Chain A
Amino acid sequence: MSVEVRIPTILRPYTDGAKIVEAQGDSLAAVITDLDTRYTGIGERLVEEGSLRRFINVYLNDEDVRFLGGIDTPVADGDSVTILPAVAGG
Protein backbone atom coordinates (compact mmCIF):
# COMPACT_ATOMS: atom_id res chain seq x y z
CA MET A 1 0.00 0.00 0.00
CA SER A 2 1.48 3.32 -1.02
CA VAL A 3 0.06 6.60 0.22
CA GLU A 4 0.96 10.24 -0.24
CA VAL A 5 1.76 12.14 2.97
CA ARG A 6 1.69 15.95 3.16
CA ILE A 7 4.22 17.27 5.65
CA PRO A 8 3.69 20.63 7.42
CA THR A 9 6.46 23.25 7.31
CA ILE A 10 7.35 22.63 10.92
CA LEU A 11 8.24 18.95 10.26
CA ARG A 12 10.08 19.45 6.97
CA PRO A 13 13.49 19.57 8.61
CA TYR A 14 12.97 15.79 9.00
CA THR A 15 12.10 15.24 5.31
CA ASP A 16 14.95 17.33 3.85
CA GLY A 17 12.39 19.99 3.04
CA ALA A 18 10.05 17.73 1.09
CA LYS A 19 6.38 18.83 1.20
CA ILE A 20 4.96 15.53 -0.01
CA VAL A 21 6.50 12.11 0.61
CA GLU A 22 5.43 8.55 -0.19
CA ALA A 23 4.96 6.00 2.56
CA GLN A 24 3.93 2.35 2.84
CA GLY A 25 1.54 0.67 5.24
CA ASP A 26 -2.02 -0.58 5.65
CA SER A 27 -2.83 1.62 8.65
CA LEU A 28 -1.90 5.11 9.78
CA ALA A 29 0.31 3.60 12.49
CA ALA A 30 2.18 1.54 9.87
CA VAL A 31 2.56 4.61 7.64
CA ILE A 32 4.06 6.61 10.52
CA THR A 33 6.41 3.74 11.39
CA ASP A 34 7.50 3.60 7.75
CA LEU A 35 8.08 7.37 7.71
CA ASP A 36 10.16 7.12 10.86
CA THR A 37 12.49 4.50 9.36
CA ARG A 38 13.40 6.94 6.60
CA TYR A 39 13.06 10.23 8.48
CA THR A 40 14.33 9.32 11.92
CA GLY A 41 12.62 11.18 14.75
CA ILE A 42 9.46 12.24 12.89
CA GLY A 43 7.46 9.46 14.54
CA GLU A 44 7.81 10.78 18.05
CA ARG A 45 6.81 14.27 16.91
CA LEU A 46 3.47 12.79 15.81
CA VAL A 47 2.76 10.07 18.34
CA GLU A 48 2.96 9.95 22.10
CA GLU A 49 2.19 6.82 24.11
CA GLY A 50 0.44 5.19 21.18
CA SER A 51 -1.86 8.13 20.34
CA LEU A 52 -1.59 11.18 18.12
CA ARG A 53 -0.18 14.17 19.96
CA ARG A 54 -2.80 16.69 21.11
CA PHE A 55 -1.64 19.52 18.85
CA ILE A 56 -1.31 17.36 15.73
CA ASN A 57 -4.21 16.79 13.36
CA VAL A 58 -4.03 14.08 10.70
CA TYR A 59 -6.53 13.88 7.87
CA LEU A 60 -7.15 10.86 5.63
CA ASN A 61 -8.57 12.20 2.35
CA ASP A 62 -9.57 15.39 4.24
CA GLU A 63 -11.38 13.57 7.11
CA ASP A 64 -9.94 13.84 10.64
CA VAL A 65 -8.57 10.39 11.55
CA ARG A 66 -9.66 10.83 15.17
CA PHE A 67 -13.20 10.12 13.87
CA LEU A 68 -12.14 7.19 11.71
CA GLY A 69 -10.09 4.97 13.99
CA GLY A 70 -7.27 7.16 15.24
CA ILE A 71 -3.82 5.80 14.76
CA ASP A 72 -5.27 2.41 13.72
CA THR A 73 -7.26 3.92 10.82
CA PRO A 74 -6.86 1.66 7.78
CA VAL A 75 -5.37 3.29 4.68
CA ALA A 76 -5.67 2.14 1.08
CA ASP A 77 -3.47 2.44 -1.97
CA GLY A 78 -3.62 5.97 -3.38
CA ASP A 79 -5.00 7.58 -0.20
CA SER A 80 -3.80 11.02 0.81
CA VAL A 81 -2.67 11.73 4.37
CA THR A 82 -2.33 15.37 5.51
CA ILE A 83 -0.54 16.30 8.74
CA LEU A 84 -1.20 19.75 10.22
CA PRO A 85 -0.63 21.49 13.56
CA ALA A 86 -3.84 22.51 15.37
CA VAL A 87 -4.68 26.19 14.89
CA ALA A 88 -7.40 28.45 16.26
CA GLY A 89 -10.19 30.26 14.43
CA GLY A 90 -12.82 32.84 15.41
Chain B
Amino acid sequence: MRFDSLLDSVGGTPLVGLPRLSPGPEVRLWAKLEDRNPTGSIKDRAALAMVEQAEKDGLLTPGCTILEPTSGNTGISLAMAARLKGYRLVCVMPENTSAERTQLLRMWGAEVVYSPGAGGSNEAVRVARRMSQEHPDWIMLYQYGNLANAQAHYDTTGPEILTDLPTVTHFVAGLGTTGTLMGAGRYLREHQPGIQIVAAEPRYGELVYGLRNLDEGFVPELYDESVLTTRYSVGPRDAVRRVRQLLNQEGIFAGISTGAILHAAIGLGQRAVKAGESADIAFIVCDGGWKYLSTGAYEGTLDEAEDRLDGQVWA
Protein backbone atom coordinates (compact mmCIF):
# COMPACT_ATOMS: atom_id res chain seq x y z
CA MET B 1 0.00 0.00 0.00
CA ARG B 2 1.35 3.41 -0.94
CA PHE B 3 0.19 6.83 0.28
CA ASP B 4 1.21 10.38 -0.59
CA SER B 5 1.63 11.33 3.09
CA LEU B 6 1.06 9.98 6.58
CA LEU B 7 -2.31 11.76 6.81
CA ASP B 8 -3.48 9.92 3.69
CA SER B 9 -2.82 6.59 5.41
CA VAL B 10 -5.42 7.01 8.20
CA GLY B 11 -7.96 4.16 8.33
CA GLY B 12 -8.09 1.04 6.18
CA THR B 13 -7.15 -1.10 9.19
CA PRO B 14 -7.11 -4.94 9.26
CA LEU B 15 -10.01 -7.01 10.61
CA VAL B 16 -8.50 -10.04 12.29
CA GLY B 17 -10.29 -13.22 13.39
CA LEU B 18 -9.78 -14.57 16.90
CA PRO B 19 -9.77 -18.38 16.47
CA ARG B 20 -8.93 -19.09 20.14
CA LEU B 21 -11.19 -16.58 21.89
CA SER B 22 -14.22 -17.13 19.64
CA PRO B 23 -16.85 -19.13 21.55
CA GLY B 24 -17.33 -21.64 18.71
CA PRO B 25 -17.06 -22.28 14.97
CA GLU B 26 -20.45 -20.64 14.37
CA VAL B 27 -19.90 -17.72 16.73
CA ARG B 28 -16.82 -15.81 15.73
CA LEU B 29 -15.05 -12.72 17.09
CA TRP B 30 -13.31 -10.26 14.77
CA ALA B 31 -10.91 -7.55 15.98
CA LYS B 32 -10.65 -4.27 14.05
CA LEU B 33 -7.04 -3.24 14.70
CA GLU B 34 -7.29 0.53 15.07
CA ASP B 35 -3.85 0.62 16.69
CA ARG B 36 -2.56 0.40 13.11
CA ASN B 37 -3.41 4.05 12.51
CA PRO B 38 -0.56 6.63 12.27
CA THR B 39 -0.52 7.62 15.95
CA GLY B 40 -1.68 4.23 17.14
CA SER B 41 -5.36 4.78 17.90
CA ILE B 42 -8.82 4.98 16.37
CA LYS B 43 -8.89 8.70 17.16
CA ASP B 44 -6.79 9.49 14.08
CA ARG B 45 -9.97 9.08 12.03
CA ALA B 46 -12.04 11.61 13.99
CA ALA B 47 -9.19 14.05 14.61
CA LEU B 48 -8.24 14.32 10.95
CA ALA B 49 -11.90 14.63 9.91
CA MET B 50 -12.55 17.41 12.43
CA VAL B 51 -9.45 19.37 11.36
CA GLU B 52 -10.25 19.05 7.67
CA GLN B 53 -13.90 20.02 8.18
CA ALA B 54 -12.81 23.10 10.15
CA GLU B 55 -10.44 24.01 7.32
CA LYS B 56 -13.27 23.63 4.79
CA ASP B 57 -15.53 25.79 6.94
CA GLY B 58 -12.82 28.45 7.06
CA LEU B 59 -12.52 28.24 10.85
CA LEU B 60 -8.94 27.00 10.81
CA THR B 61 -6.40 29.08 8.97
CA PRO B 62 -2.59 28.81 9.00
CA GLY B 63 -1.12 29.73 12.38
CA CYS B 64 -4.35 29.10 14.32
CA THR B 65 -4.37 27.61 17.82
CA ILE B 66 -6.52 24.51 18.39
CA LEU B 67 -7.87 23.83 21.89
CA GLU B 68 -9.29 20.43 22.88
CA PRO B 69 -10.36 18.66 26.07
CA THR B 70 -9.14 15.06 25.84
CA SER B 71 -8.22 12.12 28.03
CA GLY B 72 -5.37 11.44 25.62
CA ASN B 73 -5.86 9.69 22.31
CA THR B 74 -7.77 12.45 20.51
CA GLY B 75 -5.13 14.91 21.68
CA ILE B 76 -2.31 12.72 20.37
CA SER B 77 -4.04 12.39 16.97
CA LEU B 78 -4.69 16.13 16.81
CA ALA B 79 -1.08 16.84 17.78
CA MET B 80 0.18 14.83 14.82
CA ALA B 81 -2.25 16.49 12.40
CA ALA B 82 -1.54 19.95 13.85
CA ARG B 83 2.22 19.44 13.50
CA LEU B 84 1.91 18.42 9.86
CA LYS B 85 -0.54 21.20 9.01
CA GLY B 86 1.14 23.99 10.99
CA TYR B 87 -1.26 24.65 13.88
CA ARG B 88 -0.54 25.13 17.55
CA LEU B 89 -2.39 22.69 19.84
CA VAL B 90 -3.36 23.13 23.49
CA CYS B 91 -4.84 20.01 25.16
CA VAL B 92 -6.75 20.00 28.44
CA MET B 93 -6.30 16.57 30.03
CA PRO B 94 -7.29 15.11 33.42
CA GLU B 95 -4.24 14.83 35.68
CA ASN B 96 -5.04 11.17 36.44
CA THR B 97 -4.15 9.75 33.02
CA SER B 98 -1.09 7.65 32.17
CA ALA B 99 2.33 9.36 32.03
CA GLU B 100 2.87 8.18 28.46
CA ARG B 101 -0.03 10.30 27.23
CA THR B 102 1.65 13.51 28.35
CA GLN B 103 4.97 12.34 26.91
CA LEU B 104 3.39 11.56 23.53
CA LEU B 105 1.45 14.83 23.40
CA ARG B 106 4.60 16.86 24.09
CA MET B 107 6.61 14.76 21.64
CA TRP B 108 4.28 15.81 18.82
CA GLY B 109 4.50 19.42 20.01
CA ALA B 110 1.24 19.89 21.93
CA GLU B 111 0.97 21.97 25.08
CA VAL B 112 -0.73 20.22 27.98
CA VAL B 113 -2.94 21.89 30.60
CA TYR B 114 -4.07 19.58 33.41
CA SER B 115 -7.58 19.54 34.84
CA PRO B 116 -8.36 18.16 38.34
CA GLY B 117 -8.61 14.36 38.58
CA ALA B 118 -11.95 14.37 40.41
CA GLY B 119 -14.62 14.50 37.75
CA GLY B 120 -12.36 12.99 35.06
CA SER B 121 -13.02 14.16 31.52
CA ASN B 122 -16.08 16.18 32.60
CA GLU B 123 -13.69 18.49 34.38
CA ALA B 124 -11.41 18.71 31.32
CA VAL B 125 -14.40 19.80 29.24
CA ARG B 126 -15.28 22.48 31.80
CA VAL B 127 -11.71 23.84 31.98
CA ALA B 128 -11.45 23.90 28.17
CA ARG B 129 -14.74 25.80 27.88
CA ARG B 130 -13.45 28.40 30.33
CA MET B 131 -10.16 28.74 28.41
CA SER B 132 -12.10 29.06 25.18
CA GLN B 133 -13.92 32.10 26.59
CA GLU B 134 -10.60 33.64 27.65
CA HIS B 135 -9.12 33.03 24.19
CA PRO B 136 -11.93 33.65 21.68
CA ASP B 137 -9.47 33.36 18.77
CA TRP B 138 -8.62 29.73 19.66
CA ILE B 139 -10.56 27.04 17.83
CA MET B 140 -12.11 24.32 19.99
CA LEU B 141 -12.97 21.40 17.72
CA TYR B 142 -14.96 19.84 20.60
CA GLN B 143 -15.01 16.13 19.77
CA TYR B 144 -18.11 15.51 21.93
CA GLY B 145 -20.38 17.59 19.74
CA ASN B 146 -18.51 17.77 16.43
CA LEU B 147 -20.52 16.03 13.69
CA ALA B 148 -17.31 15.37 11.72
CA ASN B 149 -16.26 12.97 14.49
CA ALA B 150 -19.22 10.60 13.95
CA GLN B 151 -19.18 11.26 10.19
CA ALA B 152 -15.60 9.95 9.94
CA HIS B 153 -16.82 6.60 11.26
CA TYR B 154 -19.94 6.66 9.09
CA ASP B 155 -17.72 7.24 6.03
CA THR B 156 -14.84 4.88 6.87
CA THR B 157 -15.02 2.55 9.90
CA GLY B 158 -18.56 1.32 9.18
CA PRO B 159 -18.06 0.60 5.45
CA GLU B 160 -14.67 -1.06 6.10
CA ILE B 161 -16.26 -3.51 8.54
CA LEU B 162 -19.17 -4.36 6.25
CA THR B 163 -16.84 -4.85 3.25
CA ASP B 164 -14.53 -7.17 5.18
CA LEU B 165 -17.33 -9.00 7.04
CA PRO B 166 -20.59 -8.98 5.03
CA THR B 167 -22.06 -11.47 7.55
CA VAL B 168 -21.52 -9.17 10.55
CA THR B 169 -24.27 -9.58 13.19
CA HIS B 170 -22.88 -7.49 16.07
CA PHE B 171 -20.71 -4.39 16.32
CA VAL B 172 -19.15 -3.62 19.70
CA ALA B 173 -17.16 -0.48 20.53
CA GLY B 174 -16.25 1.75 23.44
CA LEU B 175 -18.39 4.68 24.51
CA GLY B 176 -16.46 7.88 25.17
CA THR B 177 -17.30 10.72 22.83
CA THR B 178 -19.77 8.22 21.29
CA GLY B 179 -18.42 9.12 17.81
CA THR B 180 -17.40 5.56 16.80
CA LEU B 181 -20.73 4.02 17.81
CA MET B 182 -22.89 6.82 16.43
CA GLY B 183 -21.10 6.92 13.06
CA ALA B 184 -20.23 3.29 12.34
CA GLY B 185 -23.36 2.15 14.20
CA ARG B 186 -25.66 4.29 12.06
CA TYR B 187 -23.97 3.13 8.84
CA LEU B 188 -24.21 -0.53 9.82
CA ARG B 189 -27.85 -0.22 10.88
CA GLU B 190 -28.70 1.31 7.49
CA HIS B 191 -26.85 -1.37 5.51
CA GLN B 192 -27.14 -4.52 7.61
CA PRO B 193 -30.71 -5.17 8.79
CA GLY B 194 -30.95 -6.74 12.23
CA ILE B 195 -27.40 -5.92 13.30
CA GLN B 196 -26.86 -5.29 17.02
CA ILE B 197 -24.89 -2.17 17.96
CA VAL B 198 -23.47 -2.57 21.46
CA ALA B 199 -21.61 -0.09 23.64
CA ALA B 200 -19.04 -1.00 26.30
CA GLU B 201 -18.55 1.84 28.70
CA PRO B 202 -15.60 1.88 31.10
CA ARG B 203 -16.52 1.96 34.78
CA TYR B 204 -13.84 3.84 36.66
CA GLY B 205 -12.97 4.16 40.34
CA GLU B 206 -14.86 6.55 42.58
CA LEU B 207 -12.57 9.54 42.12
CA VAL B 208 -13.52 9.85 38.46
CA TYR B 209 -17.21 10.14 39.43
CA GLY B 210 -16.35 12.68 42.13
CA LEU B 211 -18.58 15.45 40.83
CA ARG B 212 -19.66 18.19 43.17
CA ASN B 213 -23.27 17.82 42.11
CA LEU B 214 -25.27 15.81 39.65
CA ASP B 215 -25.81 18.74 37.33
CA GLU B 216 -22.11 18.43 36.47
CA GLY B 217 -22.85 15.11 34.76
CA PHE B 218 -22.11 15.00 31.06
CA VAL B 219 -23.71 13.37 28.04
CA PRO B 220 -21.95 14.10 24.71
CA GLU B 221 -24.10 16.09 22.29
CA LEU B 222 -23.36 13.44 19.62
CA TYR B 223 -25.06 10.71 21.67
CA ASP B 224 -28.31 9.31 20.28
CA GLU B 225 -29.37 6.24 22.22
CA SER B 226 -31.64 5.05 19.39
CA VAL B 227 -28.51 3.95 17.48
CA LEU B 228 -27.62 1.45 20.20
CA THR B 229 -29.11 -1.97 20.89
CA THR B 230 -27.75 -1.87 24.41
CA ARG B 231 -24.96 -0.57 26.60
CA TYR B 232 -22.80 -2.32 29.22
CA SER B 233 -20.70 -0.90 32.01
CA VAL B 234 -17.39 -2.77 32.42
CA GLY B 235 -15.08 -2.35 35.40
CA PRO B 236 -11.27 -2.44 35.43
CA ARG B 237 -11.04 -6.03 36.68
CA ASP B 238 -12.91 -7.50 33.71
CA ALA B 239 -11.15 -5.11 31.31
CA VAL B 240 -7.68 -6.15 32.53
CA ARG B 241 -8.59 -9.85 32.57
CA ARG B 242 -9.78 -9.68 28.97
CA VAL B 243 -6.91 -7.54 27.69
CA ARG B 244 -4.48 -10.12 29.12
CA GLN B 245 -6.46 -12.96 27.50
CA LEU B 246 -6.28 -11.14 24.17
CA LEU B 247 -2.50 -10.95 24.54
CA ASN B 248 -1.96 -14.49 25.83
CA GLN B 249 -4.34 -16.32 23.50
CA GLU B 250 -4.35 -14.26 20.33
CA GLY B 251 -1.09 -12.33 20.57
CA ILE B 252 -2.77 -8.92 20.32
CA PHE B 253 -1.29 -6.28 22.67
CA ALA B 254 -4.12 -3.80 23.22
CA GLY B 255 -4.92 -0.92 25.55
CA ILE B 256 -7.12 -1.41 28.61
CA SER B 257 -10.36 -0.03 27.14
CA THR B 258 -10.19 -2.73 24.47
CA GLY B 259 -10.42 -5.27 27.29
CA ALA B 260 -13.75 -3.74 28.32
CA ILE B 261 -15.02 -3.97 24.74
CA LEU B 262 -13.83 -7.57 24.37
CA HIS B 263 -15.59 -8.45 27.65
CA ALA B 264 -18.90 -7.26 26.21
CA ALA B 265 -18.19 -9.01 22.87
CA ILE B 266 -17.46 -12.34 24.57
CA GLY B 267 -20.66 -12.00 26.63
CA LEU B 268 -22.70 -11.51 23.43
CA GLY B 269 -20.93 -14.48 21.87
CA GLN B 270 -21.71 -16.75 24.80
CA ARG B 271 -25.34 -15.71 24.62
CA ALA B 272 -25.47 -16.56 20.89
CA VAL B 273 -23.98 -20.00 21.59
CA LYS B 274 -26.57 -20.64 24.29
CA ALA B 275 -29.37 -19.60 21.94
CA GLY B 276 -27.98 -21.87 19.21
CA GLU B 277 -27.47 -18.92 16.86
CA SER B 278 -24.53 -18.18 14.60
CA ALA B 279 -22.85 -14.79 14.94
CA ASP B 280 -20.04 -12.69 13.51
CA ILE B 281 -19.10 -10.17 16.17
CA ALA B 282 -16.83 -7.30 15.12
CA PHE B 283 -15.26 -5.22 17.88
CA ILE B 284 -12.83 -2.32 18.03
CA VAL B 285 -9.26 -2.55 19.27
CA CYS B 286 -8.98 1.16 20.13
CA ASP B 287 -5.23 1.32 20.62
CA GLY B 288 -2.15 -0.71 21.57
CA GLY B 289 -1.05 -1.33 25.13
CA TRP B 290 2.17 0.66 24.89
CA LYS B 291 0.95 3.86 26.49
CA TYR B 292 -0.52 2.00 29.48
CA LEU B 293 2.61 0.04 30.50
CA SER B 294 3.27 2.43 33.38
CA THR B 295 -0.20 1.76 34.84
CA GLY B 296 0.93 -1.78 35.73
CA ALA B 297 -2.14 -3.32 34.07
CA TYR B 298 -0.11 -6.05 32.37
CA GLU B 299 1.78 -7.45 35.35
CA GLY B 300 1.06 -8.96 38.75
CA THR B 301 -2.31 -10.29 39.91
CA LEU B 302 -5.70 -8.96 38.86
CA ASP B 303 -6.17 -7.56 42.38
CA GLU B 304 -2.94 -5.58 42.09
CA ALA B 305 -3.83 -4.28 38.63
CA GLU B 306 -7.31 -3.30 39.82
CA ASP B 307 -5.84 -1.38 42.77
CA ARG B 308 -3.35 0.41 40.56
CA LEU B 309 -6.06 1.51 38.12
CA ASP B 310 -8.36 2.83 40.85
CA GLY B 311 -8.76 6.56 40.37
CA GLN B 312 -7.18 6.50 36.89
CA VAL B 313 -8.93 7.48 33.69
CA TRP B 314 -7.79 4.23 32.05
CA ALA B 315 -9.88 4.30 28.89
Contacts and interface: CB of A to CB of B under 8 A. Distances in A.
Interface in B82-135: 119-122, 124-125
Interface-central residue, B74, B122, B175, B233, by most chain A CB under 10 Å: B233
Contact of B233 (A10, A53, A55, A59): A59
Interface stretch (B24-32, B209-217, B273-281): B209-217
A53 B216 CA distance: 12
B177 interface: yes
B23 interface: no
A50 interface: no
A90 B176 contact: yes
A63 B264 CA distance: 10
A63 B214 contact: no
Given A8-B209, A63-B230, A85 B71 contact: no
B230 A10 contact: no
Interface in B204-240: 204, 206, 208-220, 225, 228-234
A90 B177 contact: yes
Interface of A is mostly: mixed
B203 A89 contact: no
Contact of B214 (A55, A59, A68, A89): A55
Given A10-B209, A90-B71, A85 B217 contact: yes
Interface string A62-90: 11101110000000000000101111111
Nearest to B315: A89
B144 interface: yes
B174 A55 contact: no
Contacts of A67: 225, 228-231
Interface string B142-179: 01100000000000000000000000000000111101
Contact of A56 (B124, B177, B204, B217): B217
A9 interface: yes
B211 A85 contact: yes
A9 to B, nearest CB: 5
Contacts of B122: 87-88
Contacts of B212: 10
B218 A86 contact: yes
B225 A88 contact: no
B70 interface: yes
B229 to A, nearest CB: 7
B202 interface: yes
Contacts of A90: 43, 70-71, 73-74, 121, 143-144, 176-177, 179, 220
Given A87-B120, A88-B176, A89-B177, A55 B217 contact: yes
Given A10-B213, A53-B214, A84 B203 contact: yes
B225 A66 contact: yes
A45 interface: yes
Contacts of B125: 88
A85 B206 CA distance: 11
Interface of B: 43, 70-71, 73-74, 119-122, 124-125, 143-144, 174-177, 179, 201-204, 206, 208-220, 225, 228-234, 315
